[in-house]
Amino acid sequence: MLPGMGLRPLILISPSVAPQGDDGPAVSLSARYERALLEAGAWPWPVLSLTSRQEIAACVQRADGLLLTGGDDVQPALYDQRIPARWRQKCQVTPDGGARDLRELMLVDEVFRQRKPLLAICRGHQLLNVALGGTLYADLPAQLPSALDHQRQDQRCEKVHDVHLTAGGLLAKITRRRILGVNSTHHQAVRQPADLLVVAGRSPDGIIESMQLHPAARLLPFLLSVQFHPERLADRHPEHHAIFAAFVKACAAKC
């Protein structure tokens, strides 16, 4: 333990992992996740490329919470076998043959089994929904052409549209807002929420931007998913830092 740091909760993070020639898989994880967690009072712990159920269960047991991060699209076959080829071909799925999807599905299952806090961001928001039985828009621009431009890569770290938060919902309580400005860099989106989840915020075009556990489902001490990237805004916008602070507070209670 470093001097003055105190006892910090340990947060398991699922990063992107891609093949890297003879050197094996390479991990990709924005330092912004690490910084947001450290600023909120936690220690980040990337889970790397594990695909063993036993090893994943052991990691979740050791950790105080799980953060699912952003990245490539979730494989359409996991939530809809009937998606037309013209939409499937536009999906930018993980280049690891589906290993990340498998790993994160097991992580979600273990988090529910062991009842640990969970924060899911962007791809994580979508993967969580799929893990619990929900569906996605595989190609949002094609399937919902009336939607806003949600792929604003040119302003990744800036607020580009509002999210209207559900009154009394978890995100509204955390941020103390009813309207939250967010960034937006996603190609897919939640279509049908899983039965265990309820909507905590929508963009003006109706896209689901945040979810939480159904009030009747007292399965986890904390669960919040967001379609945007608060780690890119947390250093300048207190309401986005508050998302990490609330998550870390829930994780600290599990220490």
- Structural domain boundaries, residue 196: 10-17+25-252
Residue 5 falls inside a structural domain: no
Query: Do 201 and 105 form a contact (C-beta atoms < 8 A)?
Result: no
Residue 52 falls inside a structural domain: yes
Task: Assign residue 183 the CATH number of its domain.
Answer: 3.40.50.880
β pairing state of 197-202 and 43-46: unpaired
Residue 122 falls inside a structural domain: yes
Residue 4 falls inside a structural domain: no
Residue 165 falls inside a structural domain: yes
Residue 3 falls inside a structural domain: no
- The pTM (predicted TM-score) of the whole model is 0.93
Per DSSP, the three-state class of 242 is helix
Residue 128 falls inside a structural domain: yes
Q: What is the total count of domains within the chain?
A: 1
Residue 2 falls inside a structural domain: no
Query: Do 247 and 222 form a contact (C-beta atoms < 8 A)?
Result: yes
Q: What are the pLDDT tens digits along the chain (255 aa)?
A: 333 456 899 999 998 877 666 666 678 889 999 999 999 999 999 987 777 899 999 999 999 999 999 999 998 889 887 777 766 666 777 767 688 999 999 999 999 999 999 999 999 999 999 999 999 999 888 888 999 889 899 999 999 999 999 999 999 999 999 999 999 999 899 999 999 999 999 999 999 999 999 988 889 999 999 999 999 999 999 999 999 999 999 999 966
